[in-house]
Amino acid sequence: MNAFSSEKSPSLRIVSLVPSVTELLCSLGLAPYLVGRTGFCIHPFETLRRVAKVGGTKDVNLAKIAQLRPSHVIVNVDENTLPTVQALEHMGLRLVVTHPQSPLDNIHLIDQFATDFIAVHAVSASAAALKAQIFQALEGFAASSAQPPAAQRVLYLIWRDPWMTVAQDTYISRMLGLIHWQTWPAVQGGARGAARYPVVDMAQAAQAGIERVLLSSEPFHFDASHLAELQALLPQAKVQLVDGEALSWYGSRCLKGFALLQQLAQGDAPSPQAHSPE
């Protein structure tokens, strides 16, 4: 039986602790039911500025969440800590756990929310339209694989001091795989935990034949001041800034990610604009 009995779903109160999912909920017409979000949930700004903040993705204010009396709390395996999730479970809250690990998983994520919140009439139509756009984009990448560009070995950096990158079984790595870019090092991070985002030995990286270094705009905000530093460490590679939201946020943001991948493959990707937590 559906948990919600009316189209307006007056009992539906959602707290999202996942920035990309918060944006997806708004894309699916669920913004009126958002009662809580993190300070990193900033898209769409004008909509979310009126939604209460409950801390960050890692430092969640559990007491404030309890005060909001949510019917659902949305969490993510990579974004939120296990102690936070366990505490929310101990509070008796209904959790929706997300963990997309590939571009195709965006479809499953949308289906998950369309099912969980099916009582909201607008969700089904919005979900179908978004899925059609994603399928069309993925089919385009598949078609281009008939004459793929030369594979490139890529170091995708997400943090500085220490340098950190992504394992090959992460969403980011698999997004880059759509244009035949292979992330280094060739390690698998597993289902969860720190191994998914390993620390990089730059001395080893310098010997790995890396052709391109991508400096993400998040979670560490790399900017133009870091380009020369990385170019000196890896002089044989092309170093450039990339929009981390486009390449790491799933849900509706993946469409911007697909567009960015096409630009990267063609060598004309723009420098990312800065985004800060509100």
Alpha helices (runs of H) in the chain, residue ranges in sequence order: 19-27, 45-48, 62-68, 82-90, 105-116, 121-144, 171-177, 202-206, 227-233, 244-248, 254-266
- 34 vs 51: CA distance, rounded Å: 7
Q: What is the pLDDT along the chain (278 residues), one digit of tens a residue?
A: 233 233 445 689 999 999 999 999 999 999 999 999 999 999 999 999 999 999 999 999 999 999 999 999 999 999 999 999 999 999 999 999 999 999 999 999 999 998 888 767 678 889 999 999 999 999 999 988 766 667 899 999 999 999 999 999 999 999 999 999 999 999 999 999 999 999 999 999 999 999 999 999 999 999 999 999 999 999 999 999 999 999 999 999 999 999 999 999 988 777 776 566 66
Helix axes 121-144, 105-116, angle to 10 degrees: 170
Instruction: Give 14's DSSP letter.
Output: E
Residue 7: predicted pLDDT: 42
Q: Is the peptide bond before 219 cis (omega within 30 degrees of 0)?
A: yes
Which among 275, 227, 223 is positioned nearest to 249, based on CA atoms? 275
Residue 72: predicted pLDDT: 96
Query: Structure pTM?
Result: 0.91
* Domain assignments of the chain as residue spans, ordered by start: 14-140, 152-266
CA distances from 202 to 18, 53, 230 (A): 31, 38, 10
Q: What single-letter amino acid sits at 163?
A: W
Q: Which fold has domain 152-266?
A: Rossmann fold (3.40.50)
CA distances from 273 to 52, 114, 198, 217, 221 (A): 25, 31, 26, 8, 10
- 220 vs 235: CA distance, rounded Å: 22
Q: Is the peptide bond before 100 cis (omega within 30 degrees of 0)?
A: no
Out of 3.40.50.1980, 3.40.50.12160, 2.60.200.30, 3.90.650.10, which CATH number does the structure's domain 14-140 have? 3.40.50.1980
Residue 6: predicted pLDDT: 32
- 258 vs 98: CA distance, rounded Å: 21
